[in-house]
């Protein structure tokens, strides 16, 4: 089980968003995966991630197996084999500290030229749900 990622080729950045199937089968909250594996070395990106955490988002490493284009699980800690970062407004590891394995169809690719736009999708969903 995993999500195979193929770059859209558009300028800007691709990101993944949790689908209805991901919520039902995987018990995932609304969230996005920023495909930041390479950007982790960029200080602006790291500062942006820290700022997101300080503003009430939970940020977890999303990891891959041998195929760097396949996200396989979300971890509570660690940065080995990072694929990107899963960002959500809800804590994932309250009941269990085991990695969450990703199933097929749990994410769909979206595209943005600004990561703040991607985070806005989470805030919009939260408002729509009345939280």
Q: What is the pLDDT of residues 17-31, one digit of tens each?
A: 999 999 999 999 999
Statement: residue 79 has pLDDT above 70 = no
**Would 9 be classed as within a structural domain?**
no
What pLDDT is recorded for position 128?
66
pLDDT band at 125 (very low <50, low <70, confident <90, very high): low
**Would 121 be classed as within a structural domain?**
no
Nearest alpha-carbon partner for 20 in 29, 11, 9, 12 = 29
**Would 125 be classed as within a structural domain?**
no
**Would 131 be classed as within a structural domain?**
no
**Would 23 be classed as within a structural domain?**
yes
Q: What is the DSSP string of 4-35?
A: E------SSEEEEEE-HHHHHHH-PPSEEEE-
What pLDDT is recorded for position 60?
92
**How many domains in the chain?**
1
- The residue range of the domain holding 55 is 14-62+86-99
């Amino acid at each position: 089980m995993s999500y195979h990622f193929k770059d859209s080729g558009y300028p800007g950045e691709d990101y993944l968003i949790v689908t209805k199937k991901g919520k039902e089968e995987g018990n995932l909250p609304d969230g996005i995966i920023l495909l930041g594996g390479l950007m982790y070395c960029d200080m602006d990106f790291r500062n942006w991630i820290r700022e997101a955490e300080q503003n009430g988002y939970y940020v977890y490493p999303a990891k891959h197996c041998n195929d760097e284009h396949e996200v396989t699980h979300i971890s509570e800690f660690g940065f080995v084999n990072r694929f990107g970062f899963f960002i959500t407004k809800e804590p994932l590891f309250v009941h269990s500290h085991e990695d969450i394995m990703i199933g097929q169809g749990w994410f769909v690719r979206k595209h943005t030229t600004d990561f703040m736009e991607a985070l806005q999708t989470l805030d919009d969903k939260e408002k729509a749900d009345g939280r």
